[in-house]
Amino acid sequence: RKAQIGVTGLAVMGANLARNLARNGYTVALHNRSSEKTDALLEAHGSEGDFIRTETLQELVDSLESPRRILVMVKAGGPVDAVIDQLVPLLDKDDIIIDGGNSHFPDTIRREKDLAEKGLHFVGVGVSGGEEGALNGPSIMPGGSAKSYESVGPMLEKIAAKAEDGSPCCAWISTDGAGHFVKMVHNGIEYADMQVIGEAYDLMRSVANIEPAEQAEIFKQWNTTELSSYLIEITAEVLAQVDSKTGKPFIDVIVDQAGQKGTGRWTVQSALDLGAPITGIAESVFARALSSSNSAAREQAQKGFTDGLIATTGVATADPEFVEDVRRALFASKLVSYAQGMDMLSIAGKEYGWDLKLDTIASLWREGCIIRAELLAEIMEAYKDEAPANMLLAPAFNKLMEELVPSWRRVISKAVALGIPVPVFSSSLAYYDALRRDRLPAALIQGQRDYFGAHTYKRVDAEGDYHVMWSDDLREVNAEDAHV
Ligand code: NDP
- pLDDT tens-digit profile of 338-354? 999 999 999 999 999 99
Pocket test for ligand 1, best of 73, 169, 186 (most atoms within 8 A of CB): 73
Taking residue 86's Cβ as centre, other Cβ atoms within 10 Å add up to: 14
- Condensed to tens digits (0 to 9), the pLDDT of residues 4-22 reads 999 999 999 999 999 999 9
Q: Is 190 a catalytic residue?
A: yes
Tell me: is residue 75 an annotated ligand-binding position. Answer: yes
Non-local CB neighbours of 444 within 8 Å, separated by 6+ positions: none
Nearest residue by C-alpha to atom 39 in ligand 1 = 130
Sign of CA dihedral 265, 267, 272, 273: positive
- Condensed to tens digits (0 to 9), the pLDDT of residues 176-188 reads 999 999 999 999 9
Q: Which is the closest atom of ligand 1 to the Cα of 33?
A: 47
CA of 46 to the centre of ligand 1 (A): 21
Pick the closest to residue 332 from 421, 233, 428 (CA basis). 428
Nearest residue by C-alpha to atom 32 in ligand 1 = 101
Residue 315 has pLDDT above 60, yes or no: no
Residue 41 has pLDDT above 60, yes or no: yes
Q: What is the predicted pLDDT for the residue at 337?
A: 98
What is the CB < 6 Å shell around ligand 1? Answer: 9-14, 32-34, 37, 73-76, 79, 82-83, 101-102, 127-130
What is the CB-side half-sphere exposure of residue 13 using CA atoms within 13 A? 18
Q: Which is the closest atom of ligand 1 to the Cα of 74?
A: 7
Non-local CB neighbours of 358 within 8 Å, separated by 6+ positions: 342, 345, 346, 383, 387
Asked if 320 and 190 count as a contact pair (C-beta separation under 8 A), the reply is no
Asked if 89 and 165 count as a contact pair (C-beta separation under 8 A), the reply is no
DSSP element (H, E) containing 467: strand 462-468
pLDDT-derived band of residue 312, with 50, 70 and 90 as boundaries? very low
Q: What are phi and psi of 415, to 5 degrees?
A: -60, -45
CA of 74 to the centre of ligand 1 (A): 4
Residue 216 has pLDDT above 90, yes or no: yes
Tell me: is residue 145 an annotated ligand-binding position. Answer: no
Q: What predicted TM-score, i.e. pTM, was given to this entire model?
A: 0.96
Tell me what the mean pLDDT of segment 180-206 comes to: 97
DSSP state of 64: B
Q: Strand, coil or helix: what is 455?
A: coil
Task: Give how far the C-alpha of residue 249 lies from the chain's centroid of Cα atoms, to the nearest Å.
Answer: 29
Q: Is 217 a catalytic residue?
A: no
DSSP letters, 428-453, are: HHHHHHHHH-SS-THHHHHHHHHHHH
Tell me what the mean pLDDT of segment 243-257 comes to: 98
Q: How far apart are CA 358 and CA 79, in angstroms?
A: 32
Q: Which is the closest atom of ligand 1 to the Cα of 14?
A: 25
Whole-angstrom Cα Rg for the chain:
26
Q: What is the predicted pLDDT for the residue at 305?
A: 85
